[in-house]
Amino acid sequence: MADPANIVWHKTTITKADREARNGHKGAVIWFTGLSGSGKSTLANRVESLLFASGIRTYLLDGDNIRSGLNRDLGFSEADRKENIRRISEVAGLFVDSNAIVLTAFISPFKEDRAAARTRVGNHEFFEIYVKCPLSVCESRDPKGLYKKARKGEIKNFTGIGSAYEAPESPELVIDTSEETVEESAQKVIRLLEKSGIIKENIGQQDPAKGGNGGNGL
């Protein structure tokens, strides 16, 4: 590891404020956490589509996609899960600096790791969304067939079965996907971003399938 005393942050000419002024919205991380099959990816994709249709700069970081590249050297031990989240937080932080609204869809089962992600990104730019759904419902959905494998003992440390999920205590938003539709949930996330001043009001109404308004949400 490099000696931190020899690493000096180089301030960039173009600042975060410059990017905000150009794009008309702030950067933020929308951190979806919840059991496998709770609906993190489904919801993150829907929210991203709504934002994108309104001209907002977005990027979605999703579990398996990151694990197949940047984090392919990591497994599912506690130490590896921690390192997984640490790297994702760093990447998300860079994207926020680039003025993007980053949506992350990782189980991220441990409170301590999510708290560290919040610290890395900055509290006012970090929105923790607890995608709540009973284990029995997640298991009946089993979109990737992973619960079935975990029950057969083919996957060790599977969250909810062989490994704990620590529910958030004070997330910015709780969404119960066993009670509400994807559309209702997505609108709640959009409203949260509006209320928090990350994006201007009244965006996210367009249907991305119809191409949106092409504007920047102002």
Instruction: Name the residues that contact ligand ADP, by CB under 6 A.
Output: 34, 36-43, 105, 141, 143, 177, 180-182, 185
Contact between 78 and 6 under an 8 Å Cβ cutoff? The reply is no
104 binds, among ligand ADP, Mg ion, none (CB under 5 to 8 A by kind): none
Q: What contacts 104, CB < 8 A, 6 or more positions away?
A: 29, 30, 31, 32, 44, 60, 61, 62, 88, 92
Q: Does the annotation place 217 within a ligand binding site?
A: no
Contact between 114 and 85 under an 8 Å Cβ cutoff? The reply is yes
Q: Does the annotation place 74 within a ligand binding site?
A: no
**Which residue, 24 or 208, is less far from ligand ADP as judged by CB?**
208
Q: Does the annotation place 163 within a ligand binding site?
A: no
Residue with smallest beta-carbon separation from ligand ADP: 39
**Which residue, 55 or 175, is less far from ligand ADP as judged by CB?**
175
Q: Does the annotation place 77 within a ligand binding site?
A: no
**Which residue, 12 or 136, is less far from ligand ADP as judged by CB?**
136
Which positions from 8 through 47 interact with Mg ion, judged by CB under 5 A?
40-41
> Which of 89, 108, 163, 185 is the catalytic position?
108
CA 111 to chain centre: 15
What per-residue string of b and e applies to 2-24 under the rule 16 or more CB within 10 Å gives b?
Answer: eeeeeeeeeeeeeeeeebeeebb
Both tokens assigned to 125: 């730019």
Q: What contacts 59, CB < 8 A, 6 or more positions away?
A: 95, 100, 101, 102, 103
Annotated active-site residue 108? The verdict is yes
In the bound complex, what is the minimum distance in angstroms from residue 151's beta carbon to ligand ADP? 16
Binding site for Mg ion (CB under 5 A): 40-41, 105
Binding site membership for ATP: which residues? 34-41
Catalytically active residues, by annotation: 108
